[in-house]
Amino acid sequence: MKNRGEFKTPGGKLIAVEFEVMDGELHNVVVTGDFFLYPEEALPVLTGALENTSASLDESSYATAIRTALDSSAELVGSSPEALAAAVVRALSSRPILARDGND
């Protein structure tokens, strides 16, 4: 079962995250939305910041992990590490999405 959360950055863009929780950790993390990420190749860094992290962290801890992973080599435009962290927390507090076709 997948968890999905979204956050609309005030005055900015939508950022969304989808993942599975297994053994108390986030796995198969996918980040989407209408934000911009420079360079584009930094997307795996962004998802990697959340992959295998504890599902029991608070919003601030997720934001710190994301910010640390992006460091100065990448820039989120129209969103922020805090917005992605808020989406993660929303995903964790919502009901998981059941697979419709059995392949998810």
In this structure, what token pair is assigned to residue 80?
């922020």
Q: Which two tokens stand for residue 59?
A: 């919003």
pLDDT, one tens digit per residue, over 52-78 is 999 999 999 999 999 999 987 888 999
Tell me if 49 is assigned to some domain.
yes
Tell me whether residue 79 is in a domain.
yes
Of 13, 63, 8, 3, nearest to 37 (Cα)? 13
100 in any annotated domain: no
Supply the pTM of this predicted model: 0.89
Mean pLDDT taken over the chain: 90
Q: Write the CA distances from 97 to 21, 52, 67, 92, integer angstroms.
A: 12, 19, 27, 11
Start-to-end C-alpha separation, the chain = 8
Contacts of 12 (CB under 8 A, 6+ apart): 35, 78, 79, 80, 83
| Residue 103 placed within a domain | no
Q: In the prediction, which pLDDT does 72 show?
A: 78
Position 25 scores a pLDDT of: 97
